[in-house]
């Protein structure tokens, strides 16, 4: 492992990266005052960092290749830890109870600030689960997801501003608006293949943001809409603290609804059609699945959740403007899905909580947030494309056949 060859390789890599990062990292010019700042210590750090990281990189690549070879030969590793926990009631029942207790007491034991952060994380859980339908299950890369989020948020803000409608009235309307926009945008673009779809959805996302920014009469432009009311509870007056706790429980409720619906959808006829479409489009069509309709339903379903989450977002922040709905927001949600595990509900929840809560608590690193997100996307794709909690492939078994006869197993892709 640490032979001379390896050290030489790492040494060359580190030299290469020192060369590569030299102008951007080391030199900084101030063109106004004509000063050049040389930051040599950074070069030193990059050299050492890349020297050790290149060992790690090659070691992980080797391990991944070994794993692939094993899988090719049919030698499957022991069941991963997350499966084992999910199968043993003795593990998961106490875990479930612990989570429930934690969720219930959270807003009363932690400060208002913590609760607010948790609400943000829960909003990402909902959007992540929604995007998971589109990207994880149906395999359509949607980079304009935030557009539907914006549609939901602006539905609430504008309907409230013009007609004084409340949160609970607008919640289904926002979801409906998301659905309508999903169908309107999805209908023309879903004929496109993978990467084209990604670019066109990205384009749509930007179009909606730019329209919101420029159409002052409709959306109040870049200055946004303020004083959006928080969710009400039969007209009871609440303090800020109470309102936040209430919103927290509303979010928990919505997350539970989302999880329930997504899980049911996954196992339904249409859910299986999505997964089949992701695995092989041609084979899927040959089995008689209507491609356009299946894709459109996935797209619209994802947009519905985004619309709903948008309403909650507007109610939580009480102020929205187009700057909240940039492309990077879409990419953060994509990160949540990819990091957690595309297609896995638990994975997405885990991904959202990690990605949103970690930067909040590691304030020192907050400016590196997007840098780390980018690196996470690359590293995850290279080493663990399935995400942290990769989705379990369901095996459908005919009842009545002995489980020890593997030939009788009818396994569907997905």
Partner 1 sequence: MEYFFELLLSGLTRGSIYALIALGYTMVYGIIQLINFAHGEVYMIGAFTALIVASILTMLGWNEIAILFIASVVAVVYSMAYGYTLEKVAYKPLRHAPRLSALISAIGMSLFLQNYVLLAQTSDFMPFPSLIPDLEILEPIAHLITTPEIAIILTTAIVMVLLTFMIKFTRVGKAMRATSQDREMAMLVGVDVNRVISITFIVGSATAALGGVLIASHVGQINFYIGFIAGIKAFVAAVLGGIGSMPGAVLGSLVLGCAEAFFTGFVSSDYEDVFAFIILVVILIFRPAGILGRSDISKV
DSSP category for residue 135: I
Residues of span 385-404 touching partner 1 by CB under 8 A: 385
Cα first-last separation, the chain: 38
Window of 23-31, 244-252, 265-273, 314-322 that interacts with partner 1 by CB under 8 A:
23-31
Residue 159: CB minimum distance to partner 1, A: 25
Which residue bears the tokens 């970690």? 358
For 57, counting Cβ atoms within 10 Å of its Cβ (0-12 exposed, 13-18 middle, 19+ buried), the class is: middle
Size of the site for partner 1 (CB under 8 A): 56
Q: Decide whether 117 or 377 has the Cβ nearer to partner 1.
A: 377
Whether 275 and 414 have beta carbons less than 8 Å apart is answered as yes
* Among the residue ranges 19-27, 78-86, 153-161, 252-260, the one whose residues contact partner 1 (CB under 8 A): 19-27
The label of the residue with tokens 């005919």 reads 398
Residues 100, 104: Cα–Cα separation, whole Å? 6
Closest CA to 413 of 270, 284, 263, 265: 284
Q: Restricting to residues 276-305, which ones interact with partner 1 according to CB under 8 A?
A: 282
Q: Within 13 Å and on the Cβ side, how many CA atoms surround 166?
A: 6
Which residues are CB-neighbours of 362 under 8 A, at least 6 positions away? Answer: none
Binding mask 178-217 for partner 1 (x = CB under 8 A): ----------xx-xx-xxx-xxx-xxx-xx--xx--x---
Is residue 94 a contact residue for partner 1 (CB under 8 A)? Answer: no
- Asked if residue 317 lies in contact with residue 117, where contact means CB atoms within 8 angstroms, the answer is no
Site for partner 1 in 118-177 (CB under 8 A): 135, 139, 141, 143
* Residue numbers 309-368 binding partner 1 by CB under 8 A: 328, 331, 334, 338, 367-368
Q: Which is nearer to partner 1, 107 or 144 (CB)?
A: 144
Residue 391's SS3 state is coil
Q: Under the rule (CB under 8 A), what is the footprint of partner 1?
A: 16, 19-21, 23-25, 27-29, 31-32, 34, 36, 42, 61, 135, 139, 141, 143, 188-189, 191-192, 194-196, 198-200, 202-204, 206-207, 210-211, 214, 282, 328, 331, 334, 338, 367-368, 370-371, 373-378, 381-382, 385
């Amino acid at each position: 492992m640490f032979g001379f060859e390896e050290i030489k390789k790492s040494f060359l890599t580190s030299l290469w990266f020192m060369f590569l990062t030299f102008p951007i990292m080391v030199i900084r010019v101030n063109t106004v005052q004509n000063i050049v700042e040389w930051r040599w210590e950074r070069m030193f750090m990059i050299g050492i960092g890349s020297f050790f990281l290149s060992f790690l990189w090659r070691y992980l690549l080797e391990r991944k290749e070994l794993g692939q070879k094993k899988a090719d030969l049919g030698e499957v590793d022991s069941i991963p830890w997350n499966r084992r926990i999910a199968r043993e009631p003795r593990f998961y029942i106490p875990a479930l109870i612990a989570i429930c207790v934690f969720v219930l007491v959270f807003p009363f034991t932690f400060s208002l600030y913590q609760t607010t952060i948790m609400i943000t994380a829960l909003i990402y859980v909902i959007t992540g689960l929604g995007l998971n339908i589109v990207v994880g299950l149906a395999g359509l890369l949607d980079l304009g997801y935030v557009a539907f989020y914006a549609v939901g948020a602006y539905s609430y803000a504008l309907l409230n501003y013009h007609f004084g409608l409340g949160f609970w009235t607008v919640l289904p309307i926002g979801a409906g608006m998301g659905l309508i926009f999903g169908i309107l945008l999805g209908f023309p673009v879903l004929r496109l293949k993978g990467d084209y779809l990604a670019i066109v959805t990205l384009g749509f996302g930007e179009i909606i943001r730019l329209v919101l920014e420029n159409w002052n009469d409709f959306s109040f432009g870049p200055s946004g809409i303020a004083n959006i009311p928080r969710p009400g509870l039969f007209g009871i007056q609440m303090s800020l603290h109470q309102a936040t706790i209430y919103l927290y429980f509303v979010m928990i409720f919505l997350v539970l609804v989302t999880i329930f619906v997504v899980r049911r959808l996954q196992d339904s006829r249409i859910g299986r059609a999505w997964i089949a479409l992701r695995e092989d489009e041609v084979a899927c069509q040959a089995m008689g699945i209507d491609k356009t309709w299946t894709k459109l339903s996935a797209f619209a379903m994802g947009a519905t959740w985004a619309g709903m989450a948008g309403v909650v977002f507007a109610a939580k922040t009480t102020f929205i403007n187009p700057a909240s709905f940039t492309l990077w927001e879409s990419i953060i949600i994509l990160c949540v899905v990819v990091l957690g595990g595309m297609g896995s509900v638990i994975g997405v929840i885990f991904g959202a909580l990690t990605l949103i809560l970690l930067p909040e608590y590691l304030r020192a690193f907050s400016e590196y947030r997007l840098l780390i997100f980018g690196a996470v996307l690359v590293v995850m794709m290279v080493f663990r494309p399935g995400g942290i909690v990769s989705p379990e492939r369901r095996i459908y078994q005919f009842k009545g056949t002995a489980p020890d006869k593997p030939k009788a197993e009818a396994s569907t892709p997905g």
